[in-house]
Structure 1
């Protein structure tokens, strides 16, 4: 059994070692994200295959496990690259956490102070977002509006954050993104990402976030 485990680990390591890529932004060698997500599948498949049929089983199991694990990771890789290319220089931050992608849209470039009407200058940016969403149309889209803690939470912050999220959702639908994919919420000041004690912190907290979730099922 120990020998078969060693075979499995050797096979999995050899497969993963061949999956190094160059980061297009830094020029550094790295393991592709889709490879990272498939690595667990490779190793699990190799161990199962080795237990059943030695070296040949390990190779077959690793291949099957890697394919199962890599599918959505590779899809997210391409989607992330498309979003970064489209949104470069716009002020929108693209954040990746595993298979989840988040677009952070600062309030100062999306809405005027205390208003829920999208700034005219931000329409082309949302157009770029919609273009990628239509090309990569498997994700549920969750749009969340956020405010700082200034003003009444119930009377001002919650309605304002909800209206901003809904207006972004409406515009994306107008650009052809399916409304069945989109959910829009306002959370007021309940989820700060910086202190509300300074102007800089409050500015960071005023934002709209778009989460691109893994497909369900």
Structure 2
């Protein structure tokens, strides 16, 4: 029912939000329709309609998710995330050639074995990550779920999706705008180590939060 509703809403937005420019004959987004659609929901749907990175940026801007951070520095956010998660077994590193941040949440810290329920002791740590994401709003956020190879590939895929979704929902519940967030499960398809002896296997069981900063130019273009 949820998927049907979202699909119908996206289809409706596609039909109603796109208008024809009388001068050029080109299709463009109607600001009037977007303005009346309402906040993060409208931004998220609009991002789905357009698709890709551009669509996500426009959706985040349209959903009111992106703000202005004066003097934003990626290395500053990394340092603060490391301080906020220190001693918890969480890795915070640069990725994509220094263009993004990867927060690695290892198995055993976040979830019990085979479960998609966030551990109570981890919720406080995740709250700190959420507060940091609220403090630095000019970014897109991907949440990835990964498993090991124990069990069936189908079960692992489902579990990875459920865990990524659980982390994304928790971040949203702590004030992170939903228009910024996308969750995805990879199951056992992106192993960190190739092993079947269950010694290094826990390294494969993880959830990752990827923070993709947006430039001022990208935000201005989306606003236009």
Tell me the TM-score range normalised by the shorter chain: 0.5 to 0.7
Question: 8 Å contact 1:72–1:99 — kept in the other structure?
Answer: no
Partner of 1:129, secondary structure, is: helix
CA contact (8 A) 1:148 1:196 kept: no
The DSSP-based 3-state class of the residue aligned with 2:108 is helix
Specify the alignment match of 1:117 in structure 2: 117
Q: Partner residue of 1:165?
A: 164
Shift of 1:160: 0.3
1:122-201 matches, cutoff 5 A: 122-154=122-154, 156-201=155-200
Q: Secondary structure at the match of 2:182?
A: strand
Q: Greater share of helix residues, 1 or 2?
A: 1
Count of residues paired in the alignment: 146
TM-score, structure 1 as length reference? 0.64
Structure with higher RCO (Cα < 8 A, 6+ apart): 2
Q: Which runs of 5+ in 2 are unaligned?
A: 1-68, 219-224
SS of the equivalent of 2:213 reads coil
Per the alignment, residue 105 of structure 2 pairs with: 105
Deviations 1:48-105 (A, max 9, x none): xxxxxxxxxxxxxxxxxxxxxxx99962021111111111111110011312100000
Please list the CA deviations of residues 138-174 of structure 1 after superposition, one character each: whole Å capped at 9, or x if unmatched. Answer: 11000000000111112x1011000000000001000
Kindly indicate whether the alpha-carbon contact (under 8 Å) linking 2:149 and 2:196 is maintained by their aligned counterparts in 1: no
CA change 1:185–1:151 in 2 (3 A) is same
Distance in 2 between the 1:73 and 1:188 partners? 38
Task: Normalising by structure 2, report the TM-score.
Answer: 0.62
Runs of 4+ in 1 over 4 A off after TM superposition: 71-74
The Cα offsets for residues 154-203 of structure 1, whole Å up to 9 and x where unpaired, read as 2x101100000000000100000000000000000000011232323210
1: distance between equivalents of 2:153 and 2:71? 39
Q: Is the 8 A contact 2:92 2:104 kept in 1?
A: yes
Q: Which runs of 5+ in 1 are unaligned?
A: 1-70
